[in-house]
Amino acid sequence: MAREIKFSLVYRDMWQSSGKYTPRVDQLTEIAPVIIDMGCFDRVETNGGAFEQVNLLYGENPNKAVRAWTAPFNKVGIQTHMLERGLNALRMNPVPEDVRYLMYKVKKAQGTDIARSFCGLNDHRNLKGSVLGAKAGGMISQVALSMTYSPVHTVEYYMGIVDHVVEYGCDEICLKDMAGIGRPAMLGKLVKNIKTKYPHIKVQYHGHTGPGFSVASMLEVARAGADYLDVAIEPLSWGKIHPDVITIQAMLKDAGFLVKDINMNAYMEARQLTQKFIDDFLGYFIEPTNHFCSSLLVGCGLPGGMMGSMMADLKGFHNAINMGLKNQGKKELSLDELVVMLFKEVEYVWPRLGYPPLVTPFSQYTKNTALMNLMHTLKGEPRWKTIDPDTMNMIIGKAGKLPGELAPEIKEIVKEKGLEFYTGNPQDAFPNELPKFEKMMADEGWDRGQDDEELFEFAMHERQYRDYKSGAAKARFEKDLEAAKEKAKAPIIVTRPVVEVPRFDVEKVVSAHPNATQIQAPVKGQVVWQYDVDDEGQAPVIGTQYKAGDTFCYVQAYYGMEEVKCPVDGKLVAVTAKQGEKINKGEIVGFVE
């Protein structure tokens, strides 16, 4: 008899893997009925992860968004699920137990049915709090295994975690293949083992498409007994996100599984609405390379969701790295060469840090360490010179037990710094804090909200919540959006009246500004300068962009002066070219300090 496979739409995850922000409340409520009309989804991932945080970042109330977004699905019986990070809950650092427990009560009251809980280190002690908290809050507890590919991440390793969380009382298991590097055959074996040992446990597969394994993986886990598959829809399917429901539905139907039909008229409407949201403002924050798969991800194992931030980091460091190489008389590197070097450094760093699964926040820790290693080695300095505090806390066990052994060189660094390894329960290191936040809310005169949802949001994201309440977040977002829209336009050549900065003696400037960095000349016919204006109305728009050789110079304008900034820290201190003067690409036009 043919077995049924059900689909879950990861609309929340589509946005957070693609850009900095999520749709607004009005946009979510506009598309929800259309998703329902598609008729093929039994579940929708609506919130969790960074959803609340990004709502706060652009000045909107995340509690309002969650209630409005889950309500239409609750009404028609489509289950909703959220993503939470175990000890870190909905943020990048550990959360006290009382705040974690409040989260499940709030999310259930807001209309979220399932808590999908993962620990970035797969430490079952962190997941125990998630299982017990979700069950106490009346939610379905789904434990997500952070999947990756390494000598220590075997079927036996993952089954050891499953045994613990089933004992704690979880209802479901998710294979969270966040980088999409899980090999199809291994994933199928794991699902088969889970379903054989625990036939009452539902299994859901969540796999990003980045390196290209995901379609084969979905067929393997379906054949092995998986109950649900996470999929996406255009225009944010494929690339670094998830396979499209159309392809997966057709594949499974041909393989003999029972799958629901897709209302294609509704699909096309949902596709059109999603594109409208992108055109509105979300598209300005989407990393262009997120639309593409890349086999380069097979080796480094980094998740597609962080490719945008990684590329931003590399672009920021690119000019500084090349300047350092030039000063050493070495060949400069293209951005592609730098990407490959970073991926190789991640491959070097990862096993030496104990094979932490490359998922938030440990993927960021590993990438940051690799990037700093790369910076130092290109300068002729030793590796491991810079390890940030969060990464060091991971190394010494404050976040949980690492899957693998630390390299001797890392253990020696811990010893040199006079630190001690932590072997206790990670949660014990972070005492309860709710009474503190209750008092602060009372002092501010703020309402705790329906079902204490505002109290929860404040305790989970204190700084972002304060910025939301003050209006600073909205103002910052609007400024960011204005700059992003300006950046998307063609390079601008200023034609307003200027006060020219006179030519200067290069040696004199170098002597006066020993820390200054040379700026590459703009494209022939374009000149960068500073100038005064007579009134505020003549000041150029903030975010003006100049094409400067193979890089960009960004302009920050204010009344009375325009300051030109390049992709290195500092401000323009002098220029060599006059207004309108033609200069050749590659010549030096100025210095920044």
**pLDDT tens across 64-109, in order?**
999 999 999 999 999 999 999 999 999 988 999 999 999 999 999 9
- Over 80: is that where the pLDDT of 590 sits? no
* Bridge partners, residue 545, by sequence: 554
| 325 in any annotated domain | yes
| 500 in any annotated domain | no
**pLDDT tens across 302-320, in order?**
776 666 667 777 777 777 7
CATH of residue 74's domain is 3.20.20.70
| 96 in any annotated domain | yes
Based on the domain organization, do 200 and 221 belong to the same domain?
yes
pTM: predicted TM-score of the whole model, two decimal places: 0.79
Based on the domain organization, do 238 and 253 belong to the same domain?
yes
- Of 238, 255, 286, the one marking the end of a domain is 286
- Over 60: is that where the pLDDT of 534 sits? no
- Of 386, 409, 429, the one marking the end of a domain is 429
> Could you give the CA distance from residue 498 to residue 531 in angstroms, rounded to a whole number?
5
| 57 in any annotated domain | yes
500 burial level (CB within 10 Å; 0-12, 13-18, 19+): middle
Based on the domain organization, do 220 and 87 belong to the same domain?
yes
**pLDDT tens across 457-509, in order?**
999 999 999 999 999 999 999 888 888 888 777 443 333 333 333 444 556 65
- Over 60: is that where the pLDDT of 397 sits? yes
Angle between the 62-76 and 25-38 helix axes, to the nearest 10 degrees? 20
**pLDDT tens across 113-147, in order?**
999 999 999 999 999 999 999 999 999 999 999 99
Across the chain, mean pLDDT equals 84
**pLDDT tens across 250-301, in order?**
999 999 999 999 999 999 999 999 999 998 888 888 877 788 888 888 877 7
Number of domains in the chain: 4
Indicate the helix (H) or strand (E) that contains 173. Answer: strand 172-177
Residue with tokens 């949660």: 427
Side-chain-side CA neighbours of 8 within 13 Å: the count stands at 25
Query: Comparing C-alpha atoms, which of 116, 201, 187, 196 is closest to residue 154?
Result: 187
- Over 60: is that where the pLDDT of 529 sits? no
- Over 60: is that where the pLDDT of 565 sits? no
Helices within 58-144 (DSSP H only): 62-76, 97-109, 124-136
Least confidently predicted of 187-201, 266-280, 456-470, 565-579 = 565-579
Based on the domain organization, do 412 and 322 belong to the same domain?
yes
Based on the domain organization, do 25 and 149 belong to the same domain?
yes
- Over 90: is that where the pLDDT of 573 sits? no
% of the chain with per-residue pLDDT over 70: 80
The residue length of the chain stands at 593
Residue pair 89/81 in contact (Cβ under 8 Å)? The answer is no
> Could you give the CA distance from residue 138 to residue 481 in angstroms, rounded to a whole number?
39
Rounded to a whole number of angstroms, the CA Rg of the chain reads 26
Side-chain-side CA neighbours of 111 within 13 Å: the count stands at 22
Residue pair 8/230 in contact (Cβ under 8 Å)? The answer is yes
| 128 in any annotated domain | yes
CA dihedral sign of residues 450, 52, 147, 387: negative
| 494 in any annotated domain | no
Based on the domain organization, do 126 and 30 belong to the same domain?
yes
Based on the domain organization, do 401 and 453 belong to the same domain?
no
In one letter, which amino acid is 548? A
**pLDDT tens across 223-249, in order?**
999 999 999 999 999 998 999 999 999
| 1 in any annotated domain | no
Query: Comparing C-alpha atoms, which of 51, 111, 81 is closest to residue 228?
Result: 81
Based on the domain organization, do 376 and 392 belong to the same domain?
yes
Based on the domain organization, do 34 and 125 belong to the same domain?
yes
| 501 in any annotated domain | no
Give the sheet arrangement for strand 551-558, strand by strand.
Answer: 545-548, 551-558, 561-565
Based on the domain organization, do 393 and 535 belong to the same domain?
no
> Could you give the CA distance from residue 121 to residue 124 in angstroms, rounded to a whole number?
9
CATH of residue 585's domain is 2.40.50
Domain holding 440, by residue range, is 434-486
- Of 286, 320, 354, the one marking the end of a domain is 286
Based on the domain organization, do 105 and 198 belong to the same domain?
yes
In one letter, which amino acid is 344? K
Q: Indicate the pLDDT class of residue 2, thresholds 50, 70 and 90.
A: confident
For 320-340, the DSSP string reads HHHHHHHHTTPPP--HHHHHH
Residue 534, both tokens: 């007579």
Residue 205, both tokens: 């597969």
- Mean local confidence (pLDDT), 447-462: 97
Residue pair 201/171 in contact (Cβ under 8 Å)? The answer is yes
Based on the domain organization, do 280 and 411 belong to the same domain?
no
